[in-house]
C-alpha cells in the first residue's frame, strides 16, 4: 500500500468539506530531497538578487511567492491543494520574467511560458477531476464503502473522509482496488478509465518538465528570466512537472502507465538527444544551459518509463542533481554576464584569470552534467540506464502486427550518444569562456566575484560532490519513496 512508510511532518486540516478538500501536507522519501533542493536554490536566488535596484521589494515578494508555490506542490497530499500551489507558482513566474527579464525577449517568453504551462495544467486537471469523481462513485458501492471504512479503521485515510475526496491516499486506495481499471470505458471493450486518462494527466504535467514536443517554451524562458529566476526555473520549477506526473498519473493510474509509458519513452529519448545537439550549436551562454536542461530532464522521464525501483531511484536522484547543477550553471552565467555584459560565447575568453571561482564551479557543474564518476550526475544517470536495461526484457510495444521487444536497450545506447554530445558542448564552452584568450582591452575592468557570490557557488556546488562521493546520504531515502509506487505498478 502506498505511503506504508508514512509521511514526515504531516498536517491535515479540513478546508472545503463538501468537496472533500483539505489542507493536507507531508513529505516522504521522494519529496524530501525536492524540499531540500528548493531551499538551496531559493537561498542562492535571494543572495544573487541582492544587487537588483529596480523595484527590489516587489521582486523579492514575487520571488518568495514563487518559492512558496513550489514548496506547496512538493508537500501536498491533497490533489486540489497540489493544483492550487501549482498555479500559484506560475503567476509570479510570469511577473518576474515580464517585469525584470531581458528586455528583448521578456514579454514574449513570459507569455509563452504561461500559456504552455496553463494549458497543460488545465488538461491535467480535467483528468484529475474525472479521477476524483470516478473514485467517489466507487466508494458508494458496497465493496468501495467497506474498503473505505476499513482504511479509516487502520488509519490509512482520515476518519472524517467522505466518499468524495481529493486526498491522494484515498485516491490511491481506489486505484489499488481497481476503481480505474474496469474495461468498456466509453463502450470500447479494450479501453479502461486509466488507459484513457493517463496521457492527459502525464503529458499535461510533462509540459512543465519540458518533454518533447512541449519543450519549446523552456529555453526562451531561461534566457529571458533574470538570473535568480533562471536558477529556480531550471533548478526547481521544471521538477514540478516531473514530480506531479509521477504522483498523479503513474501512482494513481498504474494500468495507464504500463500501457502508455513504453511509447512515451520515445518522446523522452528525443528530449535527451535533440536537446544535447541543439545545445552544442548555441552561441548564447544561457541558451546552451537552457537546451542542456531540456536534455537532462528527458532522462528523468526516461527513468519513469523504466517502471522499476532502480530506474525510479535514479530519476529521483536526477531531479535533485540536475536541479543543483543547473542552478549552479545559471549562477555562473549570471556572474559572468554581470561583469562582461555579454553572453556571446565567441566574444568571451580567458575568464579563469579574473573569475577563478566561477571557472572551478562551472567545471564541477560541467563534469556533473557529463556523468563523471564521483559526482552526483553519475549517481543519478547510471541507475536510470540500468533501470532501462533491466526493463528491456519485460516491456514490449505492439504497433499493428509488429511487436517490439528489448527495444529499451537500444534506446539507452542512443541516449548514450547525448552524453558524448554533452561532453562536447561542456568542453567547448569551458574552453572558450574560461580558457580562451582574454581580451584585456574589452574586459580589463572585470573584477572577481564577491564573498556572497562565492557562498552561492559553494551552496550549490558542494552537494554535487557530496552526493557523488557518498550516495547513501540520499539514495535510500529516494528509494523508500519510489518503492510504494513500483508496488502499484505490480512490482516491476
Q: Which tens digits make up the pLDDT trace of 265-319?
A: 888 899 899 999 999 998 888 899 988 988 998 899 888 888 889 999 999 999 9
Q: Are 301 and 264 in contact (CB under 8 A)?
A: yes
Q: Are 453 and 361 in contact (CB under 8 A)?
A: no
| pLDDT band, very low/low/confident/very high, at 5 (cuts 50, 70, 90) | low
Query: How many Å apart are CA 347 and CA 432, to the nearest integer?
Result: 9
Query: How many Å apart are CA 358 and CA 402, to the nearest integer?
Result: 52
* DSSP string across 3-65: TTT--EEEEEEEEEGGGTEEEEEEE-TTHHHHHHHHHHHHHHHHHHTTT--TTHHHHHHHHHH
CA dihedral sign of residues 75, 112, 264, 287: negative
Residue with cell 514563487: 66
pLDDT number for residue 4: 45
Average pLDDT over residues 470-484: 91
Q: Are 252 and 171 in contact (CB under 8 A)?
A: yes
pLDDT greater than 90 at residue 84: yes
Give domain status of residue 171, yes or no: yes
pLDDT greater than 90 at residue 51: no
Which of 186-190, 283-287, 391-395, 474-478 is least confident? 186-190
Give domain status of residue 2, yes or no: no
Give domain status of residue 58, yes or no: yes
Give domain status of residue 3, yes or no: no
Q: Tell me the percentage of the chain whose pLDDT exceeds 70.
A: 96
| pLDDT band, very low/low/confident/very high, at 400 (cuts 50, 70, 90) | low
Query: How many Å apart are CA 59 and CA 49, to the nearest integer?
Result: 9
pLDDT number for residue 48: 92
Q: In the chain, how many domains are there?
A: 1
For residues 237 and 105, the model is more confident at: 237
Q: Residue 16 carries which DSSP code? A: E
pLDDT greater than 80 at residue 471: yes
Query: How many Å apart are CA 396 and CA 417, to the nearest integer?
Result: 23
Single out the residue of 321, 318, 309, 322 nearest to residue 387, CA to CA: 309
Structural domain range at position 13 = 8-488
pLDDT number for residue 359: 93
| pLDDT band, very low/low/confident/very high, at 6 (cuts 50, 70, 90) | low
Query: How many Å apart are CA 446 and CA 93, to the nearest integer?
Result: 31
Mean pLDDT in the chain?
Answer: 87
Give domain status of residue 353, yes or no: yes
pLDDT number for residue 3: 41
pLDDT greater than 70 at residue 490: no
Give domain status of residue 288, yes or no: yes
**Beta-ladder partners of 396:** 405
Of the chain, the end-to-end C-alpha distance in Å amounts to: 15
pLDDT greater than 60 at residue 73: yes
Say what the alpha-carbon torsion angle 408, 410, 412, 413 is, to the nearest 10 degrees.
170
Angle, vertex CA 343, rays to CA 337 and CA 349, nearest 5: 90
**Chain segment 234-244, per-residue pLDDT in tens:** 888 889 888 99
pLDDT number for residue 1: 37
Give domain status of residue 245, yes or no: yes
Give domain status of residue 1, yes or no: no
**Chain segment 417-455, per-residue pLDDT in tens:** 888 999 999 999 999 999 878 888 887 788 888 999 999
- For the chain, give me the number of helices (H) and strands (E)? 19, 4
pLDDT number for residue 426: 92
Query: How many Å apart are CA 492 and CA 489, to the nearest integer?
Result: 6
**Chain segment 191-222, per-residue pLDDT in tens:** 888 888 988 998 888 888 888 887 777 778 87
Query: How many Å apart are CA 341 and CA 464, to the nearest integer?
Result: 28
Query: How many Å apart are CA 157 and CA 444, to the nearest integer?
Result: 65
Which of 43-57, 79-93, 172-186, 190-204 is least confident? 172-186
pLDDT number for residue 441: 80
For residues 301 and 463, the model is more confident at: 463
pLDDT greater than 90 at residue 32: yes
Amino acid at each position: 500500500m502506498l505511503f506504508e512508510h508514512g509521511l514526515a511532518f504531516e498536517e491535515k486540516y479540513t478546508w472545503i468539506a463538501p468537496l472533500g478538500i483539505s489542507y493536507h501536507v507531508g513529505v516522504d522519501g521522494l519529496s524530501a530531497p525536492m524540499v531540500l533542493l528548493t531551499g538551496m536554490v531559493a537561498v542562492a536566488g535571494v543572495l544573487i538578487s541582492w544587487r537588483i535596484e529596480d523595484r527590489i521589494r516587489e521582486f523579492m515578494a514575487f520571488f518568495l511567492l514563487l518559492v512558496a508555490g513550489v514548496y506547496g506542490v512538493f508537500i501536498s497530499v491533497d490533489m486540489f491543494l497540489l493544483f492550487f500551489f501549482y498555479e500559484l507558482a506560475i503567476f509570479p513566474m510570469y511577473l518576474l520574467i515580464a517585469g525584470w527579464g531581458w528586455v528583448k525577449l521578456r514579454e514574449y517568453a513570459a507569455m509563452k511560458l504561461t500559456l504552455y504551462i496553463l494549458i497543460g495544467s488545465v488538461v491535467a486537471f480535467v483528468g484529475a477531476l474525472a479521477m476524483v469523481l470516478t473514485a467517489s462513485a466507487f466508494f458508494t458501492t458496497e465493496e468501495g464503502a467497506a474498503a473505505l471504512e476499513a482504511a479509516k479503521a487502520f488509519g490509512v485515510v482520515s476518519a472524517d473522509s467522505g466518499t468524495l475526496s481529493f486526498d491522494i491516499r484515498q485516491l490511491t486506495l481506489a486505484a489499488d482496488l481497481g476503481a480505474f481499471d474496469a474495461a468498456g470505458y466509453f463502450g470500447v471493450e479494450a479501453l479502461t478509465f486509466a488507459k484513457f486518462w493517463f496521457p492527459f494527466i502525464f503529458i499535461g504535467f510533462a509540459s512543465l518538465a519540458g518533454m518533447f514536443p512541449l519543450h519549446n517554451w523552456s529555453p526562451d524562458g531561461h534566457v529571458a528570466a533574470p538570473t535568480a529566476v533562471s536558477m529556480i526555473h531550471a533548478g526547481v520549477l521544471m521538477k514540478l512537472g516531473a514530480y506531479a506526473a509521477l504522483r498523479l498519473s503513474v501512482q494513481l493510474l498504474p494500468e495507464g502507465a504500463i500501457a502508455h509509458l513504453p511509447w512515451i519513452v520515445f518522446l523522452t529519448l528525443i528530449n535527451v538527444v535533440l536537446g544535447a545537439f541543439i545545445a552544442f550549436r548555441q552561441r548564447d551562454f544561457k541558451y546552451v544551459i537552457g537546451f542542456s536542461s531540456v536534455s537532462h530532464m528527458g532522462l528523468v522521464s526516461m527513468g519513469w518509463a523504466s517502471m522499476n525501483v532502480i530506474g525510479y531511484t535514479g530519476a529521483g536522484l536526477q531531479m535533485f542533481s540536475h536541479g543543483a547543477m543547473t542552478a549552479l550553471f545559471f549562477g555562473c552565467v549570471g556572474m559572468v554576464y554581470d561583469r562582461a555584459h555579454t553572453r556571446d560565447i565567441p566574444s568571451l575568453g580567458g575568464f579563469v584569470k579574473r573569475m577563478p571561482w566561477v571557472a572551478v564551479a562551472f567545471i564541477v557543474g560541467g563534469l556533473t552534467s557529463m556523468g563523471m564518476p564521483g559526482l552526483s550526475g553519475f549517481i543519478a544517470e547510471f541507475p536510470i540506464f540500468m533501470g532501462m536495461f533491466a526493463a528491456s526484457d519485460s516491456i514490449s510495444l505492439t504497433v499493428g502486427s509488429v511487436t517490439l521487444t528489448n527495444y529499451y536497450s537500444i534506446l539507452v545506447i542512443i541516449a548514450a550518444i547525448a552524453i558524448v554530445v554533452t561532453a562536447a558542448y561542456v568542453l567547448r564552452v569551458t574552453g572558450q569562456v574560461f580558457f580562451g584568450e582574454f581580451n584585456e582591452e574589452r574586459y580589463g575592468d572585470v573584477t572577481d566575484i564577491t564573498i556572497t557570490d562565492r557562498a552561492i557557488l559553494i551552496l550549490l556546488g558542494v552537494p554535487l560532490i557530496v552526493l557523488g562521493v557518498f550516495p547513501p546520504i540520499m539514495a535510500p531515502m529516494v528509494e523508500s519513496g519510489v518503492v510504494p509506487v513500483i508496488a502499484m505498478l505490480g512490482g516491476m
